[in-house]
Amino acid sequence: METNETVDRYQRTQDTFDAVLAAVSPEQWDAASACEHWTVRDVAGHVIWGLEVLRHHLAGQEYTVRNGPAGSENPGELAGENPLAGWRETREATDALVTDDILGRPAPAWYVANRPDATVTDYLALLTFDTLVHTWDVGSAVGVDVPMEPDIVAPSFSLARLIISRTPGTFGPKVKPAPGADQQTRFLAFLGRVS
């Protein structure tokens, strides 16, 4: 079933993000990342923000924090002094609410504003795409190789073609991949990243 595949990809992508964050040394949190104007800590804070949006939505609460979206300033504040611990705490709290019965519910309000029929399952696919890319961003900043699983890259690449905007602080111009480049390289090139 497609929904189960979406949840599985979401969970596996989170597992990889967790492993890459665990490899970040204390002095690397404030290193520059592949995201313009963002440090590694900022990237972690942004990913935490995406989960907090979902967690609050599923709990029926409004989430008013505004320094987490793409292009925002200082999302690293959401990651705190120990981004790995902050990420794990947020992930555990969010995962406790991600159950089969919520998957067909409407997505969080800011996402529904752009896609009126979007469900929580659609938002999980967005989080998978976002976390996949930012796992690579963190890994590339701290010297950790991040191979992406093809069955996660393919739907994320398709989603990226539909939703990304190339504005300052989000995604840069496409990079032309080398002839015969693999799927991961083509995906990263489409997002303006060099692999």
Q: How far is CA 65 from CA 62, 129, 137, 175, in A?
A: 9, 21, 23, 33
Average pLDDT over residues 71-82: 93
**DSSP H helices in 64-178:** 83-95, 109-112, 120-142, 150-163
Query: Is 189 domain-assigned?
Result: no
What 8-state DSSP symbol labels residue 119?
Answer: B
For residue 85, being part of any structural domain is answered with yes
Whether pLDDT at 150 is above 50: yes
Report percent pLDDT > 70 for the chain.
95
Number of domains in the chain: 1
CATH number at residue 100: 1.20.120.450
| Average pLDDT along the chain | 91
More confident residue, 175 or 21: 21
Parent domain of 56: 2-147
Note the pLDDT tens digit of each residue in 24-44.
999 999 999 988 889 999 999
Does the predicted model carry a pTM greater than 0.85? yes
Q: Report if residue 133 sits inside a domain.
A: yes
Q: Assess if residue 93 is contained within a domain.
A: yes
pLDDT at res. 1: 35
114-137 average pLDDT score:
94
Residue at 160 is within a domain: no
- For residue 36, being part of any structural domain is answered with yes
pLDDT at 149 over 90: yes
